Amino acid sequence: MLVTREFITAKLETTYNVDSVPTPAADAIQVSNLAWAPEGLRMVERPVIKPTFGKLKSVFAGELRTITFDTELRGSGTIDSPPETGVLWRAAGLAQTINASTSVIYDVASSAIGSITMYFYMDGTYFKLTGGRVKSVSASLETGSIGKLSWTVTGHVGNHIDITPAAPAYDTTVPAPLIGIPFTIGGYSPSISKMEFTVENSLSLQEDISAPDGYGELIITDRNVSGSFDPMMHVIAVKDFYSEFKAGTEFALTTGVIGGTAGNRVRIDMPKIYYNSAAPADREGVRTYELGFVAIESASDDELTITHT
């Protein structure tokens, strides 16, 4: 069973934890670093009193499953069509807005959070994951590379079954390189080599004695949007990052538009961030800062917006 033959499909559910039947032809997502692991596994020990030291067999009492993988940051190739990762953003607690002939926008949301069904194919066998929600997604933007998104999805798992699936059909859009990106923070354009951010969701694994796996709906109960970047250090008269850190100064952050082709342009905006850490760093002999930040609301549910155009 070859790792190179593994792939996943994902589709939004109409009803939570009801299989939405994603297909390789319509719902495949191109990924790398694909893996799965048990989550919330219950193996109940039986510490009965008996005259010998030998253990009694533990009892399997249910589990969930987590799937992890990376995707590329790119559009769909069509200006008002969601990217392959659109269903994942929905399951991460972001709302999708499609503006005809203009854009597809993802904004953080605190209600009406979607869930997904995923099929994990493994070279001759597969399992289904239903009621899936994204526990975390991290973006890595490094100069001279392409944008990468790292996902962690948790849901209810079905049995492994042998199958010969159809070949997956992927979007062929090529991601834009991370060069010529007009990154700004509070209107200032620092020299940075990288930026990272993470949407970390608090995922409540609700126990339910009536459920086949002993778990009910997996509920997102909170979120935290945070990140970091590494601006070049200057004299205080030019830019005093450390004083801004101590003062809790708030800024708007934007990557500006990544990419120049319609249907494959992406912009990331955070209207209000503050620095929560500041430390010196060394970029090939040049002094820089490593600045950590947290995104907060400017109005309501607006810490993060991802715009595809």
| Predicted TM-score (pTM) of this structure | 0.95
pLDDT of 1 higher than 80:
no
Whether residue 294 lies inside any domain: the answer is yes
Q: Look up tokens 């995923």; give the residue.
A: 118
Q: 165 or 107: whose pLDDT is higher?
A: 107
Quick one: which of 303, 294, 262 has its CA closest to 92?
303
pLDDT of 132 higher than 90:
yes
Whether residue 158 lies inside any domain: the answer is yes
If one counts every other C-beta atom within 10 angstroms of the C-beta of residue 235, the result is 7
User: Which pair of structure tokens corresponds to residue 61?
Assistant: 């009492």
Q: Are 28 and 9 in contact (CB under 8 A)?
A: yes
Q: Look up tokens 């904004």; give the residue.
A: 107
| Pairing assessment for the beta strands 251-258 and 184-185 based on DSSP bridges | antiparallel
Domain count, the chain: 1
C-alpha 201 chain-centroid distance:
10
Whether residue 53 lies inside any domain: the answer is no
User: pLDDT tier at 3 (50, 70, 90 boundaries)?
Assistant: confident
Average pLDDT over residues 280-287: 94
Alpha helices in 22-164 (DSSP H): 24-27, 86-91
Whether residue 117 lies inside any domain: the answer is yes
pLDDT of 153 higher than 80:
yes
pLDDT in tens, 222-235: 999 999 999 999 99
- Measured CA to CA, the distance from residue 23 to residue 5 in angstroms comes to 16
Quick one: which of 279, 304, 299, 300 has its CA closest to 289?
279
Whether residue 55 lies inside any domain: the answer is no
Q: What per-residue confidence (pLDDT) applies to 165? A: 87
**What residues make up the domain containing 119?**
3-41+62-308
pLDDT of 106 higher than 80:
yes
Whether residue 54 lies inside any domain: the answer is no
Whether residue 215 lies inside any domain: the answer is yes
CA distances from 68 to 188, 237, 264 (A): 35, 45, 25
Q: Are 274 and 296 in contact (CB under 8 A)?
A: yes
User: Which pair of structure tokens corresponds to residue 29?
Assistant: 């997502």
- Measured CA to CA, the distance from residue 241 to residue 110 in angstroms comes to 32
Q: What per-residue confidence (pLDDT) applies to 4? A: 82
Whether residue 50 lies inside any domain: the answer is no
